[in-house]
A = this chain, B = another copy of it.
Amino acid sequence: MAKVKKQPRPKAVTPKGFRDYFGAEVSDRAEMLTRIAGVYHRYGFDALESSGVETVEALGKFLPDVDRPNEGVFAWQDEDDAWVALRYDLTAPLARVYAQHRNDLPLPYRRYAMGPVWRNEKPGPGRYRQFYQCDADTVGAASVAADAEICAMLSDVLEVVGIPRGDYIVRVNNRKVLNGVLECMGLSDDGQRDAVLRTIDKFDKVGEAGVRELLGKGRLDASGAYIDGVGLTDAQAEPVLAFLTSKGADASETLAQLRDAIGDSAVGAEGVAELEQIADLLAAQGYGPDRIVIDPSVVRGLGYYTGPVFEAELTFEILDEKGRKRQFGSVAGGGRYDDLVKRFTGQEVPATGVSIGVDRLLAALREKGRIETHETGPVVVTVMDRDRMADYQAMVAELRAAGIRAEVYLGNPKNFGNQLKYADKRNSPVAVIEGGDEKAQGIVQIKDLILGKQIAENATLEEWKERPSQYEVARGDLVAKVREILEQQ
């Protein structure tokens, strides 16, 4: 008889660039998103959940990050040979949704959205192909009051999730001011304008001196490679640098310096006026420069947005992978974009919004000790007598009814050591034990596992004797004693 060829076993692996999230990683994120949604909702924003799949045609290519190595999406053909793809952000779907449902939606339309997005990019350390975004946008409001509102809301969001005032700053810039600067420089050549925009984008990395070199002849970068410059003279480059470094001691000083930088450009003046209005609106609501500040050095997305641009930065210091202190940095960004819906309808629809980097904000909260990195596990009721499972189930039912997370050990109960090892792996705070003797006496043994661990690690023999970590209580006092221990932990 011919031997049947054995099917090889499938490999149990995530596809490249994807990962799984366990326990507190999931619930902490859910909790944070719920809080953010609460703020968005209180500001009058409505939830929207579009599908993960869009037509490739509707998605278009509208990513703000021009430097990305690969603009790829995950795409395939449906049964009618039409190309569909996983969404790469939440903004492109918003534009499609707004164009599709505009007759049924209020105008202006404030919406928030949160969920996974997918990018077909080369994965790297901490860089995954699926990650969460959490956006709020206002479609159909031309007034900068809409931009100011987004900034105020962003500030509220950061405080509500647990970033204290003083540990963050929302910085606001305006693309129109930059346009004014370029206009008064007399850069009529689109290629040169784009080159200047691309150079400005590197301000965060290379600083003032670096941008000066890159606008001029060029620059030797850290790797030793020579980067060609835009070819402006020092005098020509000056207004751009004046713009980038025009942040003054207060808003009026910054605005005055910006007015100098834009010369007599009309669009520049419009941009400065918008920044002034935003500052005034925010001041009237009590959002001072300790929370939101006009800062022309914000360049992220300046090439993409069409008006005000905002970025939320966390200002406390962390140690980087090399042990050097650095500021935590950006956790959210956004701005005004007026042409997304136009792609579909031909009509220009003003829109402004913000996107929060969910994973970075979560990392920041862990850094600040605002969320525990290790979740406390459930109370574990051990199984001493497998025929009395009903008794043990009744115990956990009582504990749960009192709001206490609890479970019965459901593995093979034969080896009691395995049960305590399991409780340890679950990070359980308390174990409950009721063998035959205890049952006969109407009592239960309750082990404080956290205290037990501390004692085992640190205590002298005397302390160990004085501080018992195991208690014998009447069965009827089970819930009360467990609660008492949990409250002390």
Q: Which residues of A contact B (CB under 8 A)?
A: 9-16, 18-27, 30, 34, 37, 41-44, 46-55, 57-58, 60, 74-76, 78, 80, 82, 84, 86, 96-97, 99-101, 106-108, 110, 116, 118, 129-130, 138, 140-143, 145-146, 148-149, 152, 280-281, 283-286, 343-346, 375, 377-378, 380, 386, 389-391, 393-394, 397, 400, 403-408, 410-412, 422, 425-426
Name the residue of chain B whose CB is nearest to the CB of A59: B10
Residues of B within 8 A of A284 (CB): 390-391, 393-394
How many copies the complex holds: the figure is 2
Pairwise interchain contact A344-B76, C-beta atoms closer than 8 A: no
Select from chain B the residue with minimum beta-carbon distance to A75. B76
Among candidates B18, B42, B143, B410, residue contacting A138 with C-beta atoms closer than 8 Å: B410
B12 touches A118 (CB 8 A): no
Chain B residues near A107: list those with CB within 8 A: 411, 422
Is there contact, CB below 8 Å, between B10 and A26?
Answer: no
Q: Is the CB of B389 within 8 A of A19?
A: no
CA A43 to CA B408, docked complex, whole Å: 9
Q: Are A12 and B410 in contact (CB under 8 A)?
A: no
B41, B149, B285, B375: the one within 8 Å of A410 (CB):
B149
CB-CB under 8 A from A54, the residues of chain B are 14-15
**Contact A411–B108 (Cβ < 8 Å):** yes
25 A-B residue pairs with Cβ-Cβ distance under 8 Å, sorted by A, are A10-B57, A11-B58, A11-B344, A12-B96, A12-B100, A13-B96, A14-B50, A15-B53, A15-B84, A20-B97, A20-B100, A21-B48, A22-B47, A23-B48, A27-B37, A27-B41, A30-B47, A43-B405, A43-B406, A44-B405, A44-B407, A53-B74, A108-B410, A143-B389, A284-B393
- A99 neighbours in B (Cβ, 8 Å): 12
**Closest residue to A413 on the B side, CB-wise?**
B143
Q: A43 to B110: give the CA distance in the assembly, Å.
A: 38
With A13-B55, A108-B411, A403-B42: A48-B19 Cβ-Cβ less than 8 Å: no
Q: Which partner residue on chain B sits nearest A98 by CB separation?
A: B12
Q: Are A34 and B37 in contact (CB under 8 A)?
A: no
Known A-B contacts A34-B30, A76-B76; A55 and B390 likewise in contact (beta carbons under 8 Å): no
- Minimum CB–CB distance from A39 to chain B (whole Å) comes to 9
Contact yes or no, B140 A411, CB < 8 A = yes
Known contacts A20-B51, A280-B390; 20 additional CB pairs below 8 A are A13-B58, A13-B96, A14-B50, A14-B54, A14-B96, A15-B51, A15-B82, A16-B78, A18-B53, A20-B48, A23-B47, A30-B47, A34-B34, A42-B403, A43-B378, A51-B129, A141-B410, A145-B389, A149-B408, A281-B390
**Which residue of chain B is the closest to A51 with respect to CB atoms?**
B18
**Which residue of B44, B101, B142, B412 is within 8 Å of A20 (Cβ)?**
B101
Q: How far is the CA of A22 from the CA of B102 in the complex (A)?
A: 13
A57 to B389, CA, bound (A): 39
Q: Which residue of B lies closest to A80 (CB)?
A: B16
